Structure 1
Amino acid sequence: MTALIAGILPVFLMIALGYGLRKSGFLPDDAWRPIEKLSINIFYPSFLILAIWHADLAGGGATVAGAAAVGATLIVAAATLA
């Protein structure tokens, strides 16, 4: 459980930091659009790649997780078609 919290906590802290800086008026409103594009297109994907690169995938739970992902996709597809 602590590994899960340690993995999610940095993301929420970065979101809170960005929200706080935006609301504080630290930078003018015109400066935030390029910062958001840089964050979404460069920083966040690199953060995810590093997290996946260092993840321990030897747990053996990939079959269950994969089945859940496929099942959820099929349920959403069926609901969309219905």
Structure 2
Amino acid sequence: LMLFRHRAGLGGVNILALYLQENFNIRAGYFQLAVDMVILVCAFLTLPFDKVLLSILGAVILNLIIALNHRPGRYLAAR
């Protein structure tokens, strides 16, 4: 969430999520959740079922926190 607040990123999906949110009004958290779900569905092919379920739980919690708390313009300084 701190990365989103300061318009920073670690590269990859979160930068794309911010871009989509700013230009196409697609919520960053929901976009990241969708990407994470695609990755985790692919993980079912190679990893044990219980490990993938724990990863899904973590991804859902993290992305819902971002989706519910990050709003465009919320952290910009007022002039």
TM tier, shorter chain?
0.3 to 0.5
**TM-score normalized with structure 1 length:** 0.38
TM-score, length-scaled by structure 2: 0.39
Q: Which has the higher helix share?
A: 1
From the CA coordinates, give the structure whose radius of gyration is larger: 1
